[in-house]
Amino acid sequence: MERLVSIKNRGVKMAARLFLGVWMIVVILAAFLWAPASVDMGQISRIIFFHIPTAWVTVLAFLVCAIYSVRYLKGRAALDDLAASFAAELGLLFCVAATASGSLFAKATWGSYWNWDPRETSIFVLLLIYGAYFALRSSVDDPARRGSLSAAYSILAFVTVPVLVFVVPRIPAVQSLHPADSVISAGGKLNMDARMLLVFLSSLAGFTGFAAWVFSLRLRVARISARLAVPKEAHI
Amino acid sequence: MTSSSHSVREALAVLSKDLRSEFRTRHAISSLLLFAITSLAVVSFSVSPYSLDADAQGAFLWIVLFFSAMSGLSRSFVKEEESHTVMALRLAASSDSVYIGKLLFNIVIQAAAGVIAAPLFLLLMDIRPAQPGLFAASVALGTIAMASSSTIIAAMISRANSKGALFAVLAFPISLPGLASAIRSTSISLRGGQAGAASGDIRILLAYSVLMIAASLLLFDFVWND
C-alpha cells in the first residue's frame, strides 16, 4: 500500500515537473513572440518578463532563508540550517541574474550600466548580505555554531532591509530612473497590455515554481545524504 | 523588579570591567583613534588645496568614523576569546547583561574617538558647520547607531575563524541604513538648510538604533551561548 502511494506520488511529481518545463517554454516563447513590446520603450521592454521575476525570487528566497533561520534557532534541526543556506544560495544566484539583467536594461535605456538608482542600491545591498552570509558560513567549522551564527545574521539582515526602503530614496545621489510607471502607474492601477500582463504573471509563477523545484531537489539530496551518513558512522 | 535592577547592575559591572581593562591596555581606543587620525590626515592632505562641497565632506567624515569603528569595535568580544575569559564571563553574567554592557562599552569607545576625530576633522578641513547643534547630534546619533548594529556582529565574528576581515564585510550591509542617514544629516548640518530638513534622517537614526538593539537582544543569546 505504502509503495503504491509512493509510486502515485512519484507520478504526480513527474507530471508537475513536466508541466513546469512546458510552462516555462511557453512563457519564453510568448515573451518574445506573442506579447507586444511596450510603445515607449520598444523591444527592450521584454526584459520585464525575466528581470522582475528574478528580482521577485531573490526577495522570496531571502524571506524563506529568514523563516528557516527562525525555525533552526527554535528547533535546532540540522536540516533547517541547510534549508536556510539552500534558500540563500538560490537567492544569491537569482540576485546576480536580477542585477545583471537590470544592468543591461539600464545600459539600454539610461546609457550606463550602473548609476546607483535606488533599486540598484537595494539590490546591491542584498547581494552584499548574501555574500556576507556565505563568508560567515565558510569561516565557522563547528556545524551547530555555524547554524546559529548564520541564522542570527540572516534574521538581523532581514530586519534591516525594510529600513533601507525608507532610507535609500533619501540618498541624494540620483533621482530614480527606474520605470515605475510601466508596470504599475502612480495611482496603483496596473498599466499593462492584457497580453503583456498575462505573460508577465505566468512568468512570475513559472520562475517561482522553478525556484521551489530546485529548492526541493536540494532538500531531498540533503535528506538522503543525511540518511546515508548515519550507518556509515555506525560502522566506524 | 529586583531581577531587572539586578541585570542592570550586572550590565554596569560588565561595562566597568571592560572600561578598567581598556584603561590598562588602551588597546581598542588606540587602534580606533590612530586609525581615525591617520585616515583624517590622508583625506585632509589629499584634498587641502580644494574646497569640497558639504556632501563630500559629510561622506568623508563618516568613512573615517565607520572604518575606525570597524578597526576597534570588534575588540570587545575578540579580546574575551583571546584571553580565554569567555567561559568565565558566560558564567558570571546573563547574556542580556553581557550584551548591554558591551554595547555601552562600544558606545563609550566610539564616542571617545568621535569627540576627538570630529573637531579635528572640522579643524583640518577648515569647515565651520552651519548648524553646529545638528552636527553634534548627527555625530552622536550616528555613533550610537553604528555601535548598536556592530556589537552583535562583533560577538559573531569572535566565534568565527577569520576575525579581522570578516567584521567589515558583515557589518557594512547591516549598518548601511544608519550610515546613510548619518551622512545625509551631517551634510545638511555642514551646508545649512531650512529648519527640519534633517528631521527625517534623525528620526530614522533613532528608530534604526532602537530596532537594532531590540533585534540584537532577541538574537544575542543564540550567538553568545552556542
Quick: pLDDT tens for A74-89.
988 888 999 999 999 9
A146/chain B closest Cα distance in angstroms: 8
What does pLDDT average to over chain B?
86
Taking CA–CA distances from A142, the nearest residue in chain B reads: B160
A155 touches chain B (CB under 8 A): yes
Tell me which amino acid residue B23 is. F
Distance of alpha carbon A155 from alpha carbon A153, whole angstroms: 5
What is the C-alpha separation between B90 and B93, in angstroms, rounded?
6
Contact indicator for A71, A128 with CB cutoff of 8 Å: no
Does residue B124 contact residue B41 with C-beta atoms inside 8 Å?
Answer: yes
Q: Is the CB of A140 less than 8 angstroms away from the CB of B161?
A: yes
Q: Is A199 left (phi over 0), alpha (psi -120 to 50) or beta?
A: alpha
CA A51 to chain B, closest CA, distance in angstroms equals: 23
The answer to whether the Cβ–Cβ distance between B177 and A163 falls below 8 Å is yes
How far is Cα A59 from Cα A120, in angstroms, rounded to an integer?
A: 14
Contacts of A159 in chain B (CB under 8 A): 211-212, 215
pTM: 0.85
Pick from A110-119, A127-136, A221-230 the range whose average pLDDT is largest: A127-136
- For residue B177, the chain A residue with the least C-alpha distance is A164
Most A CBs within 10 Å: which of B150, B159, B176, as the mutation test of the A interface? B176
Chain B contact for A159 (CB, 8 A cutoff): yes
pLDDT at residue B2, as a whole number: 54
- pLDDT tens string B85-106: 888 888 888 888 999 999 999 9
Cβ B156–A136 below 8 Å, yes or no? yes
What's the DSSP call for residue A33?
Answer: I
- The torsion angles phi and psi of A42, rounded to 5 degrees, stand at 80, -155
pLDDT at A185: 46
Which amino acid is present at B75? R
Of B55, B200, B215, the CB nearest to A170: B200
Q: Is the pLDDT of residue B129 over 90?
A: no
**How many angstroms from the chain centroid is the CA of residue B39?**
17
Residues B40/B120, Cβ–Cβ less than 8 Å: yes
Give the helix ranges, DSSP H, for B26-131: 27-47, 54-72, 75-82, 86-92, 95-125
Give B-chain residues touching A129 at CB under 8 angstroms.
173-174
Mean pLDDT, to the nearest integer, of B130-146?
91
Whether residue B25 has pLDDT greater than 70: yes
Going by C-alpha positions, the residue among B139, B155, B140 that lies closest to residue B102 is: B155
**What ipTM did this prediction achieve?**
0.87
Which residue of chain A has the CA closest to B171?
Answer: A132
Look at residues A144, A4, A121, A177 and name the one whose alpha carbon lies nearest to residue B159.
A144
State the pLDDT at residue A136: 92
- Asked if B180's CB is within 8 angstroms of A167's CB, the reply is yes
**CA–CA separation, A79 and B196 (whole Å):** 50
Contact B211 A159 (CB under 8 A): yes
CA A56 to chain centre: 6
Cα–Cα dist B111/A137, whole Å: 32
Please give the pLDDT value at position A190. 55
Q: Does B221 touch chain A (CB under 8 A)?
A: no
Count each helix (H run) and each strand (E run) in chain B, helices first: 9, 0
**Nearest residue on chain B to A156, alpha-carbon basis:** B215
| CB-based contact B186:B122 (threshold 8 Å) | no
Residue of chain B with shortest Cα separation from A152: B219
pLDDT attached to residue A1: 57
Q: Which of B162, B172, B177 sits opposite A167 (nearest CB)?
A: B177
Measured CA to CA, the distance from residue A162 to residue A157 in angstroms comes to: 9
Chain B residues within 8 A of A131 when measuring between CB atoms: 169
* DSSP assignments along A81-123, one per residue: HHHHHHHHHHHHHHHHHHHHHHHHHHHHHHSSS----HHHHHH
Contacts of B20 (CB under 8 A, 6+ apart): none
Which of B55, B166, B174 lies nearest to residue A172, judging by beta carbons?
B55
Q: Is A135 on the interface with B (CB under 8 A)?
A: yes
**Are the beta carbons of A81 and A74 closer than 8 angstroms?**
no
Cα dihedral sign, B19-B27-B137-B121: positive
The answer to whether A171 faces chain B, any CB pair under 8 Å, is: yes
Q: How confident is the model at residue B35 (pLDDT cuts 50, 70, 90)?
A: confident
Query: Would the CB atoms of B207 and A163 count as touching at under 8 Å?
Result: yes
Residue B132 — very low, low, confident or very high, per pLDDT cuts 50/70/90?
confident
Contact across the interface for A125 and B208, Cβ inside 8 Å: no
Are B28 and B102 within 8 A, CB to CB?
no
Q: What is the DSSP letter of B66?
A: H
**Residue B176: closest C-alpha in chain A:** A164
Q: How far is A76 from chain B (nearest CA, A)?
A: 11
Rounded (5°) CA angle A32-A38-A41: 110
